[in-house]
Structure 1
Amino acid sequence: MLSAKSLFLEIVDNDESFRLFCSIAASGESQGGWENARIAALVPRGERDLAPKITRHGADEDKHGRIFNALLKKRGLTPVPVPPDTDYTVLLERHGIGLAHDRLRADRPLTEQDIVTYLAHSRVTEQRASEQMELLRRHFADHPDLGRAVRMISEDEDNHLAYCHEELLRFAAAGHGRAIQRTLRECALAEIRIHRDVSLAVMARMGRILGWPKGRSALLAFGIHAVYAYERAAGWRRMVSLRMPERRNALGGPATPAPELA
């Protein structure tokens, strides 16, 4: 039977498909770490209290990248180059979602609107990350090799999502409500399209590595398109709602050290 658990187990059990999966994940997390570090360095004077939380966010992302690389090392594997059509983070930036890398490389302080844009982008992408890690946690929390890493990353992603909700509500109360809702909607609609395209590209490559029959690959592609159709019709709304989280000040402390996985 084709299920999320059986599909992921098949990917994990094959060295080449596991190598590609971890390489894509590590690259995206490391890129997120760099982006957050630059944003923390450029926070406008009036929002300096936010800088430690952004720094913590970036440190968590860097940690996740190290965890995925450690999982590869534990299996005696090395990372592979990330195919351009599977690079979720780069594709988001290329489509104008979030803050442009040219802007982050400059040494000019960001504006309040830039910070709103960053938080709205993060709220959308952290929704996706939290849901994906919750799925893995549900199926692999007790896995002998992956369980500890999955539990730690899932906990971090939930913290990141809570932080985005809390900070965006603060900015909304300060008069940025309309800009936040407009930016959230733009980000969400772009993200679901890019997530669909990346998912199709990743599954196509996994299918070639694992020798899936055409029928199975076609079924998976149909499922990805069906999810996109639902998200395009209504599912995107879960990415733009804001509510005060139960986890308050979720990024107010130091980053949790990564476990020794290698």
Structure 2
Amino acid sequence: MLSAKSLFQEILDNDESFRLFCSIAAGGEAQGGWENGRIAALVPDGERALAPKITRHGADEDKHGRIFNALLRKRGLKPVPVPPETDYTMLLERQGIGLAHEKLKADEPLTVLDIVVYLAHSRVTEQRACEQMELLRRHFGEHPDLGRAVRMIAADEDNHLAYCHEELLRLAYAGHGPAIQRTLRACALAEIRVHRDVSLAVMARMGRILGWSRARSAVLMAGIHAVYAYERLAGWRRMVSLRMPERRDALGGPANTAPEFA
């Protein structure tokens, strides 16, 4: 039976597919850590209170990258280069989503609108991350090798999403509501396209590594296209709604450095 659990178990059981999975994940987290670090350094004066939270966000992303690399080391594996067609963060930037790296590499302070763009981009991508980690937590939260890492990353992603909701609502109350909604919609529609393309590329590579039949690959590809069709029709709306989270100030404290994985 083809299910999310059986599919990931197959990827987990093979060294080469597991190495590709962890390498892609680690690369994306490291990129997110760098981006948040630069944004924290460039926060405009009126939003300086946000800088420690952005720094915490980046520290969490760096930690996640270390965790995925530690999982590789535990199996005696080394990371592989991330194939460009599977580089989620790079492809989003090429779509004009989030803050351009050229802007982040400069030393000019950001604007409040830039902070809106950053938070809207994060709200959409953290929604995806939360959903993916919740799936792994449900199926592998008690796994002897992966369980602790999965639970830790999933908890962090929940905090990141809560933080994005709270800060965007704060800015909406300050008069930036229309800009927030426009940016969220653009981010969501671009993200679902990129997620589809990356998913197709990753599954194609996994299929070659694991020797999947054409029929099995076709079923998986059809499933990815079906998810995109649903998200394009209505599913994207879950990525643009805002509600005050139950946990307030989710990134208000120091980051958990996860020394057991560092």
2:254 alignment partner in structure 1: 254
Aligned in 2, Cα 1:261/1:41: closer, same or farther, shift over 3 Å? closer
Please, which runs of 5 or more residues in structure 1 have no aligned partner?
Answer: none
**Partner of 1:80: helix, strand, or coil?**
coil
Task: Give 1:261 shift.
Answer: 3.9
Task: Give 1:259 shift.
Answer: 4.6
Provide, for residues 107-154 of structure 1, a one-character-per-residue CA deviation record: whole Å limited to 9, x for no partner: 000000000000000000000000000000000000000000000000
Provide the alpha-carbon RMSD of the alignment.
0.7
Q: Distance in 2 between matches of 1:51 and 1:117?
A: 15
Please, which runs of 5 or more residues in structure 2 have no aligned partner?
Answer: none
Q: Distance in 2 between matches of 1:58 and 1:82?
A: 20
Q: Distance in 2 between matches of 1:261 and 1:189?
A: 35
1:156 alignment partner in structure 2: 156
* Residues 74 and 261, structure 1, Cα contact 8 Å, conserved in 2: no
Task: Give 1:257 shift.
Answer: 1.9
Q: Distance in 2 between matches of 1:199 and 1:184?
A: 22
TM-score (norm 1): 0.99
1:5-44 map, 5 Å: 5-44=5-44
Q: Distance in 1 between matches of 2:201 and 2:26?
A: 17
TM-score (norm 2): 0.99
1:184-203 map, 5 Å: 184-203=184-203
1:102 alignment partner in structure 2: 102
Task: Give 1:212 shift.
Answer: 0.3
* Residues 66 and 261, structure 2, Cα contact 8 Å, conserved in 1: no
1:40-189 map, 5 Å: 40-189=40-189
Q: Distance in 1 between matches of 2:90 and 2:251?
A: 25
Q: Distance in 2 between matches of 1:101 and 1:47?
A: 20
Task: Give 1:236 shift.
Answer: 0.1
Task: Give 1:223 shift.
Answer: 0.2
Task: Give 1:260 shift.
Answer: 1.4
Q: Distance in 2 between matches of 1:258 and 1:92?
A: 28
Q: Distance in 2 between matches of 1:149 and 1:177?
A: 36
1:209 alignment partner in structure 2: 209
1:243 alignment partner in structure 2: 243
What amino acid does structure 2 have at the position aligned with 1:221? M
What amino acid does structure 1 have at the position aligned with 2:88? Y
Q: Distance in 2 between matches of 1:198 and 1:64?
A: 20
Paired residues, number: 262
Task: Give 1:228 shift.
Answer: 0.2
Q: Distance in 2 between matches of 1:198 and 1:261?
A: 27
- Percent identical residues: 85
Q: Distance in 2 between matches of 1:243 and 1:48?
A: 23
Q: Which runs of 4+ in 1 moved over 3 A?
A: none
Q: Distance in 1 between matches of 2:96 and 2:38?
A: 17
* Residues 126 and 157, structure 1, Cα contact 8 Å, conserved in 2: yes
Q: Distance in 1 between matches of 2:199 and 2:243?
A: 29
Aligned in 2, Cα 1:60/1:190: closer, same or farther, shift over 3 Å? same
Provide, for residues 138-191 of structure 1, a one-character-per-residue CA deviation record: whole Å limited to 9, x for no partner: 000000000000000000000000000000000000000000000000000000
Q: Distance in 2 between matches of 1:21 and 1:258?
A: 21
Q: Distance in 1 between matches of 2:191 and 2:231?
A: 10
* Residues 56 and 254, structure 2, Cα contact 8 Å, conserved in 1: yes
